[in-house]
A = this chain, B = another copy of it.
Amino acid sequence: MGRQPGYDTAALVRAARRVFWEHGYEQASVPELERATGVNRSSLYHAFGSKRGLYDAALTSYLDEVVRPRLRPLQTPPVQPAALADYLQHLLDALARDATGDGDASRGCLLLSAAAAPIGQDDAVRAVVVAYRAELRAAVAGGLAAARPDLDDTVRAHLAESVTALVVAALALVRVDVVAAADSLRAALEVSRPEPARQPARQSLG
């Protein structure tokens, strides 16, 4: 019983998601969320409790409506090798294209701000980011395994990690994955390496 909302909740969350996507959690102001959704702050707080509650709804909606549909081609066998190559190519390609466009994704991945900004310190948000990364890794590894069973296991593992790391690094800036990519690159460098001598030098670019 009672009065019905004068707005479409799904559309509201989508509009809010766009604001968070563009400005990040901290820089997205409540007045701006009001403007974008066309809904008064009273209704927003009544429905979501807080700015943070609305952000959580936006995160969920982002994963369900944006991320997962794009990963589905990797998870639906049979995966053709050529299709996989094209898929990965165009996936990364689209990232670059979006970055220069003026669409929703022009400011990068919504989870980027979650990981890099202060909100990323929050345990609940961090858990979402970690789960997202695992999901992405599994999708890439699974798709690659289905498409290229002919590849050597080690090579395929390196390739999967490298692709995942690149996508994750570009999207969510989880720098830990760079380790795996570094292994891949090292392997690539070793292929036609003239001498096996090494001389480690611990340094950081910051």
Contacts and interface: CB of A to CB of B under 8 A. Distances in A.
Contacts of A159: 188-189
Contacts of A181: 92, 166
Nearest to A21: B206
Given A178-B166, A203-B70, A204-B95, A27 B198 contact: no
A196 B82 CA distance: 7
A157 B74 CA distance: 29
Contacts of A190: 85
A201 interface: yes
Interface in A15-40: 23-24, 26-27
A185 B90 contact: no
Nearest to A83: B199
A153 interface: no
Give the number of copies in the complex. Answer: 2
Contacts of A166: 165-166, 169, 178, 181, 185
A199 to B, nearest CB: 6
A195 interface: yes
Interface SS, A side: helix
A199 B86 contact: yes
A78 interface: no
A205 B171 contact: yes
Nearest to A179: B96
A189 B88 contact: yes
A166 B165 CA distance: 9
Interface in A68-106: 70-71, 73, 80-100, 104-105
A123 interface: no
23 contacts: A26-B26, A66-B205, A71-B205, A81-B194, A85-B189, A86-B201, A92-B185, A93-B182, A94-B204, A94-B205, A95-B178, A95-B204, A96-B182, A98-B204, A99-B176, A108-B173, A109-B206, A110-B206, A165-B166, A166-B166, A166-B181, A170-B175, A170-B178
